[in-house]
Amino acid sequence: MRKLTIRAAINEALRQEMRRDPNVYVIGEDVGIFGGCFGVTAGLIDEFGPERVVDTPITESAIVGNSLGAAATGLRPVAEIMFMDFVGVTMDQIFNQAAKMRYMFGGKAKIPMVIRMACGAGGSAAAQHSQSLEAWFMHVPGLKVVAPSTAYDAKGLLISSIRDDNPVIFVEHKFIYDIEGEVPEEIYTVPLGKADVKREGDDVTVVATMAMVYKALEAAEELAKEGISVEVVDPRTLQPLDNETIINSVKKTHKVVVVHEAVKFAGPGAEIAAMIAEEAFDYLDAPVKRVGAPFTPVPFSPVLEQAYIPSTEKIIAAIKEVVA
């Protein structure tokens, strides 16, 4: 099978859904002629024109406001927030309006909108361009939160998100855009709310998201040399969360490490750890261990930033702690 980068897989998902459904359009800063800050929307304006690939002023509130109104009246917008850090100025529209309109209108309104946003540290972009804030949105009833780690998942999950009749927050880690994976040419979907076991193992479960999936797989490879068998579970969708797949893995391994780049305190791993404690406590042979970023803004200094981002070595140390 051919290979695409995650960037190209997302582009293909957008292109195929725009061809299939004339109600789908893309909107955001520099998504048109420039092709997006990270090149994800490159070439779309050449095929679909400026009415369906809409360049906006630098005002995230206008991007989400346009999308919300359009979605409520039958279109299927895909809005791009250039950096996840900028989503704060749109929060009322997202959590008070988009997330609640279907509920407040008794199910008569549908809000089929996707908000794509790039997260993640690693390029010395400093405190206002490097955050992972997915836990904010997990907490809001009415929103779905998607966080792919592979090109295959990114394409299939984005197509599912565009077709969903609810608002979806689609989180893309900017430093895995160039990772390649096998991606079918045809249109396919990956269901929202279904996790994927990226590596099977028997001794410990590692639940990891986005870029941390690759570091968890590196840790598993290293620990296999020492006779420790690591199972890596990628939730793929953080809301709804696939409790069943995670719990089934815990029942097999009896030990768990949860890894994400977001700040450890009140991060996505806190909910996953609590869910495991509530639903699978009797299967645990050790406390659930979390690996996440420290409670500090993302540093600009490359040395400090690398210390901030959870590393393969930290994941290995956490696994050894629970296995011991």
pLDDT in tens, 222-233: 999 999 999 999
Separation of first and last alpha carbons in the chain:
41
Tell me, what's the pLDDT at 182? 98
Query: Residue 297 burial (CB < 10 Å; 0-12/13-18/19+)?
Result: middle
pLDDT over 70, % of the chain: 100
H helices present in the chain, as ranges: 6-20, 44-48, 60-72, 91, 101-104, 134-138, 151-163, 211-224, 243-253, 268-279, 302-308, 312-323
Q: What's the pLDDT at 2?
A: 95
Report the C-alpha gap between 29 and 87 in whole angstroms.
13
Reported as a single tens digit per residue, the pLDDT across 21-35 is 999 999 999 999 999
Which string of DSSP letters, residue by residue, matches 32-50? STT--TTSTTTTHHHHH-T
- Over residues 285-309, the mean pLDDT reads 97
Distance (Å, whole) CA 185 – CA 15: 12
pLDDT above 90 covers a percentage of the chain that reads: 99
The residue-averaged pLDDT of 132-136 equals: 98
pLDDT digits (tens, 9 = 90+) for 264-288: 999 999 999 999 999 999 999 999 9
pLDDT tier for residue 19 given thresholds of 50, 70 and 90: very high
Q: What is the mean pLDDT of residues 236-258?
A: 98
Structural domains of the chain ordered from first start: 3-182 (3.40.50.970), 196-323 (3.40.50.920)
Kindly report, residue by residue over 41-71, the tens digit of the pLDDT.
Answer: 999 999 999 999 999 999 999 999 999 999 9
Residues catalogued as catalytic:
129
Mean pLDDT of 125-131: 96
pLDDT of residue 119: 98
Q: Are 98 and 230 in contact (CB under 8 A)?
A: no
Helix (H) or strand (E) run with residue 146 in it: strand 144-146
At 160, is the pLDDT very low, low, confident or very high (cuts 50, 70, 90)?
very high
Q: How confident is the model at residue 195 (pLDDT cuts 50, 70, 90)?
A: very high
- Burial grade of 47 (CB within 10 A; 0-12, 13-18, 19 or more): exposed
Identify the residue whose tokens are 């895995």: 176
CA–CA dist 171, 115 (Å, integer): 8
Mean pLDDT of 88-115: 96
* Average pLDDT rounded to a whole number, residues 176-188: 98
**Which pLDDT does position 30 carry in this prediction?**
97
* Band of residue 74 on the pLDDT scale cut at 50, 70, 90: very high
Q: What is the pLDDT of residue 91?
A: 96
The confidence band for 219, taking pLDDT boundaries of 50, 70 and 90, is very high
Query: What's the rounded Cα separation, in Å, for the pair 233 and 269?
Result: 13
Percentage helix, strand, coil for the chain under 3-state DSSP, each rounded to 5 = 40, 20, 40
